[in-house]
Structure formats: C-alpha cells, structure tokens
A and B are shown apart, each in its own frame.
Chain A
Amino acid sequence: MTTLDKTLTIAVSGINNIDSPGPGIPVIRGLRESDKIRARIIGIAYENLEPGAYMHDHVDKAYKMPYPSDGVESYLERLRYIHSREHIDVLIPNFDSELFTLMKSEKILTEMGIRTFLPTLAQFEERHKANLPDYGRKYGVLVANSETLTSIADLNHIREKMEFPIVVKGKFYDAYIAYDLEQARIYFNRISAKWGLPIVVQEFIRGTEVNVIALGDGRGNTIGAVPMRKQYITDKGKAWGGITLADDTMMELTQKIMHATKWRGGMELELIRTKKDELYLIEINPRLPAWVYLAVAAGQNLPEALVRLALGEAVQPFARYDVGKMFIRYSYDMICELREFEQLSTHGEL
C-alpha cells in the first residue's frame, strides 16, 4: 500500500542543520526521496537562524515554535495555530526535549488529527541515562555503570563508586570525559548551566564507539536497523564521517532490545565495543539520529517507514542494507535575504 494518491503534510522539527545538527533535514531528505509518499514539509523552528527554515527546496513552509520548556499550553496553542493553517497529517519531532511534551499530549494530538509515532512514556523514561543500570539488568544488556547527581557535592563521593576517568553527561545533551575530580566539577558546572540538573556520571568504557539506527513498530519487531561507526568526531562529539558496518552482534543486540521493550519509533543505540569484543550500551537516543540519511542511502528509508507506521500502514521490515556506505558531513554557506530573516523573526513563519 502506498499513499502517493495524496500529498501528506508532514511537520518536522530539528531543522537546525548546523555544526551540531538536528536530524530534521536528513529526515526530510529521506521523505523527499520516497517513492511511497509525497509530502509537503512544514519545518518547526525554535530559533530564527535554524538553516532549515531557509532551505526552501527541503522545507515548504517554516513556523517558529516556543520551546517546550516554556510550557505545554503555549506549545500546544502554537501547534493548533499551525495545524489550522496547514492541516498536519504527521508530526516528526526530532529533539529529545520535545518528546516528553508530545508523548504527554499524544491524545490531544490524535483528537486534532495529527499523527505521531513515538515511544510510550514508560519506554522513554526507562532508557534515560540515569536509569541505564536498571535497564541493563532488566533486559540482560551490558551497560556502563552510572550515577545521577543533583548537586555538585555529590561528586565528592563518586570516587567511592567508580574510577576515573568518568564521563559527565547532561540529561539530554553534552558529554565530557573527566580525568580527575577538578575536571568533573568544571564539566558538571558547564553542563548544568546549559541544560540544568540532574547530571549523569557514567563509568568510562574503553573501546570503539559504534552506533545503530533502528525503527521499532511498537510490537517488538525491528522494521529497520543499520550499524555504523563514526570515522571522525568533531570537537562537539558529532560525527564528521561515518561508515555502515556488517556486524551480526550489533544487529542481534538491537533486535533483542526492540523485541524486549516493544520500542515504538526511531532509536539510536550508542555502544562501545571493548577489546574483549563485548558490546556495552552507553546511551539510547529515543529518536532517529542526525546521521539517518546514511541509512536511507544504504537502502533503508526509515523516515518513510516511520511516516507509514504513523499512518497505520503495515510496513514490512527491511531485509538488507549496503555495507561500507559512507557519509561525510560538510558545511555550506547559504545566502539568505534579509526580508526572509525579518519575516521569520517578526511573523514567526516563512
């Protein structure tokens, strides 16, 4: 079954295609290349300088939104306004920080006629960095030991629980390796000033970082999964380049997690492969990652599959992907007219 007979209106956030990019533009590229769906793309921007708002070949119309942290009501009110203008069929949020608000509001969205394909609140909560040790025990997965800190004083006791180096992480974003207590304090303050509390401190697992992008149908099936290794990492910890891998153990781990948790929606597993060839789970991102277009290019159009799942279509799992497919991220100076910036800044839409 295809939906080519109708142009779908799909709202996509995370269109901040900057040096630490959101997944919005790669998701849109997947949708644009689909031969099963035809889409009009509504870009959801939180800042006036999010490049996606000005990328008119990708985004048909862009709207500014208030941050979810400004309050659910103002967020939903703005979404109602956009929906009244655009009649959104499917909403794909691409920021972790949006998910809680949208999961809580899923019933309201459904009543409005906006479909999403998100994990349940329980799925979202249990895979939090802070809950990872429990997650590992529950599902029989090797995880990095971690502690949740709500004050800097908690750091003084961390040496009793784990050895340095440790990884200091924000609840949603940012991670730094600290080699001593002084560095840990610096990173605690830096991350908490930007993203708030709590801070998660994680055991540092030595090895090679590998990642899996996956899509679960919410019934325990893995609709698609592609393993990747970052070939070069920027100073922001983001992939500059990456390559798809042939790795049965990573695929088996992904399917095991999908099956056990009945994950619904996109997901990224961040793993460390140790010298002993063990796979440690260090993080689960509850959405498609910014390198999603690599999966599309390797033969798995996961954004297209996600939209079809949101529409209630039966989607067959992808059977294969190309191994050794690479991506190299690049920057590009887009020239914009002042009147467009003015339009988005003053009217909140472009």
Chain B
Amino acid sequence: MKAQQLNEEIMKIKKNLAISDTGFVFDPSTGDSYTLNPVGLELIQLIKSGQDLPAITTHITGKYDVDAIAFERYYLDFIATLRQMHLIDDNA
C-alpha cells in the first residue's frame, strides 16, 4: 500500500483487540499476544482514535525529532507489520 492511499483512508485496528497501557496487545480470537514499545503503543492509540496519516504525522513530527518523510516510511513498515499479524481490519 502506498503512502498516497494511506493518506486517504483511516486504518482500522482489529475491533476486539485488547491493548493495555503497558503496550501489551492480546488478540482474543487467536490467542496471540504482542509487546509494543512506547512509540508503537502511541501510534496504535492514534490509529484507534480514528486519526488519518496527515494528522498522525503532524502529531509525531511535532513531538519527536523526526521529519515527515522518514516517519511515513516507518509508519508504512509499522502498518505492514500490523497487517502481517492480522491486526488490521481490512473489511471495516
């Protein structure tokens, strides 16, 4: 998926995912669990709150020492990993 497309749609995190404040993620439909680092947790929470890529980029580049182009590359990698783990709801 290209950044252009990501700009236009809001990612949907799988609905029944349990995400704790410590970054522990539990998927009750598969029993799989994952650990997010603080930035990963922040990103997931931003995605879950319904923010699109431009809004997330503004938030992250304003808070951390990263430029928009580099962040979008990391963001794409992150989304690809979530999709690989079946944590993105593509049917939503």
Contacts and interface: CB of A to CB of B under 8 A. Distances in A.
Q: Do A and B come from one complex?
A: yes
Contacts of B28: 245-246, 323-324
Contact of A229 (B16, B26, B31): B31
Chain B facing A: main interface SS: loop
Chain A interface residue bracket vs B: 10 to 19
A293 B26 CA distance: 22
Chain B interface residue bracket vs A: under 10
Contacts of B29: 245-247
Given A229-B31, A231-B31, A246 B16 contact: yes
A243 interface: yes
Contacts, number: 21
A229 B30 CA distance: 7
A208 interface: yes
Chain A facing B: main interface SS: strand
Nearest to A228: B31
A208 B26 contact: no
Contacts of B26: 324
B55 interface: no
Contacts of B30: 208, 229, 245
A229 B18 CA distance: 17
Contacts of B16: 246
B17 to A, nearest CB: 11
- The 6 A-B pairs with the shortest beta carbon distances in the complex, nearest first, are A229-B31, A246-B28, A243-B31, A323-B28, A245-B31, A247-B29
B22 to A, nearest CB: 15
A246 B15 CA distance: 12
Given A208-B30, A242-B31, A246-B16, 5 more contacts: A228-B31, A229-B30, A243-B31, A245-B28, A324-B18
